[in-house]
């Protein structure tokens, strides 16, 4: 399998997914288009450097008696992530992910598996030094058909806020705190 991967990598075929989607959320089009434009017109941000803010172990309260732990360990120029939800000392959800930079699109690509569910593939990019946006990779070629948008902000080096929106309405928020676990 790897030999084929390497062959592809070195040949560097380019392109983005064009998988059609059925949902259209015009308000989200404006949000993402504006964000893409903002990144293009302002000073180019160093996505690889900004991604380093994620390194470490993060913790968030998800619900009563449930905490999420998210580890981001450097691997090459990217990161290996592991995620665990723990309720009363028991793991109730866990997953793994890989985060890396893709220079063809000047964005960070993330792929992750949560046990028992399908793989998720996303693309994220910083729009300022501390704010980023994440969308499904399949929606990148069709920003007019977004499934959802996640907006993130590093309020401080050890505090990360995440806000998930569907049709411009917040459906989920998380506050991550970097721990020394």
Query: Which chain residues interact with other proteins by CB under 8 A?
Result: 1-9, 11, 13-20, 75-78, 80, 95-104, 109, 111-121, 137
Residue 20 Cβ, how far from other proteins at the closest point, in Å? 7
How far is residue 160's CA from residue 27's CA, in Å, rounded to a whole number? Answer: 25
CB of 145 to other proteins, least distance (A): 13
Judged by beta carbon, residue 81 or residue 149, the one nearer other proteins is 81
* Closest C-alpha among 124, 91, 2, 90 to residue 82: 91
Residue with tokens 């049709």, as numbered in its chain: 167
**Which is closer to other proteins, CB of 31 or CB of 81?**
81
Query: Whole-number minimum distance, CB 138 to other proteins, in Å?
Result: 8
The minimum distance between CB 3 and other proteins, in angstroms, equals: 4
Nearer to other proteins, 103 or 181 (CB): 103
Closest CA to 164 of 177, 147, 151: 151
Q: Can you list the positions of beta strands (E) in 38-168?
A: 56-63, 66-75, 78-87, 90-102, 107-114, 119-126, 131-136, 149-156, 159-166
Q: Which is nearer to other proteins, 56 or 112 (CB)?
A: 112
């Amino acid at each position: 399998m790897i030999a084929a991967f390497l062959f592809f990598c070195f040949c560097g075929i380019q392109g983005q997914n064009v998988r059609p989607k059925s949902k259209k959320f015009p308000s989200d089009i404006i949000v993402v288009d504006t964000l893409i434009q903002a990144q293009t017109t302002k000073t180019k941000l160093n996505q690889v450097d900004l991604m380093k803010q994620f390194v470490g172990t993060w913790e968030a309260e998800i619900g009563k008696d449930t905490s999420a732990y998210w580890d981001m360990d450097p691997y090459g120029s990217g990161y290996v992530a592991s995620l665990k939800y723990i309720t009363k000392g028991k793991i109730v959800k866990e997953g793994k992910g890989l985060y890396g930079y893709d220079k063809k699109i000047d964005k960070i690509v993330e792929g992750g598996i949560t046990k028992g569910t399908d793989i998720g593939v996303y693309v994220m990019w910083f729009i300022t030094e501390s704010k980023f946006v994440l969308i499904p990779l399949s929606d990148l070629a069709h920003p007019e058909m977004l499934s959802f948008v996640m907006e993130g902000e590093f309020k401080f080096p050890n505090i990360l806020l995440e806000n998930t929106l569907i049709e411009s309405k917040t459906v989920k928020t998380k506050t991550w705190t970097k721990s020394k676990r």
